[in-house]
Amino acid sequence: MGQKVNPVSFRLGINQSWRSRWYAGKKEFGHFLVADRRIRAHIDKNYQFAGIPRIDIERTSGDARITLHCARPGVIIGRKGQEVDRLRSELEEIAGCNIHVEIKEIPRPELDATLIGRGIAEQLQKRASFRRALKKAAATTMQTGAQGVKIEISGRLGGSEMRRRERVVEGMIPLHTLTADIDYGFTTCVTTYGTIGVKVWVYRGSRLRPADSTPDEVKAQPAGGPA
């Protein structure tokens, strides 16, 4: 497989679940697909301050349930739920159906690859030292409890004339082990001298899915596997 397989899609149905869960015929499939794309783009553009790395969309007959995994749920809920109500009305206009919004808090944002990548991108936009940003992010992730972390950035780093790539690796990243809980995130950082790509892999231990459970009910196991 090499390094060209997305770690999330590689483990779908094993210890990762699909981000969109619905079924449609040929006439409705294209409409639902475009609607899902517009919903995710709208949330990423207007509610990125809440730290939302993952959006799950599940459709039933005439309704859609959208689950937001966010690091700061209080920000998006607002006072007396006003922000959630406004978000629900905006998404209903985009999707054209009834929307149910569910918010789940991320217990440890330091172990989420997408949030780590966004934090590094913000530092690069403020012209911080990219080596220092990489080392600090990797050290924080390992101290939080990760088994391994790999961060890679590519572009005109520091405003250099030629594009180059920098990488930092801590611990182990078993990319070929299907039971490994690998979280992957990709973020682009737009600077005055070009676009910089930020890729993050976080190894959070081994996870095994029982035969009678869904991918969301995966039981976490230590790095060495079940006892």
What pLDDT shows up at residue 215?
42
Domain count, the chain: 2
Q: Are 123 and 187 within one domain?
A: yes
Q: Are 161 and 178 within one domain?
A: yes
Q: Are 192 and 212 within one domain?
A: yes
Which of 88, 105, 122 marks a domain boundary?
A: 105
Domain span at residue 191 reads 109-221
Q: Give the pLDDT confidence of 87-141 residue by residue, as tens digits.
A: 999 999 998 889 999 999 998 999 999 999 999 999 999 999 999 999 999 999 9
Q: What CATH number should be reported for the domain holding residue 194?
A: 3.30.1140.32
Residues in the chain, pLDDT under 50? 1, 210-227
Which of 90, 105, 120 marks a domain boundary?
A: 105
Q: Are 143 and 211 within one domain?
A: yes
Q: Are 126 and 216 within one domain?
A: yes
pTM reported for the whole predicted model: 0.83
Q: What is the 3-state secondary structure (H, E, C) of the chain?
A: CCCCCCHHHHCECCCECCCEECCCCHHHHHHHHHHHHHHHHHHHHHCHHHCCCEEEEEECCCEEEEEEEECCHHHHHCHHHHHHHHHHHHHHHHHCCEEEEEEEECCCHHHCHHHHHHHHHHHHHCCCCHHHHHHHHHHHHHHHCCCEEEEEEEECHHHCCCCEEEEEEEECCCCCCCCEEEEEEEEEEEECCEEEEEEEEEEEEEEECCCCCCHHHCEEECCCCCC
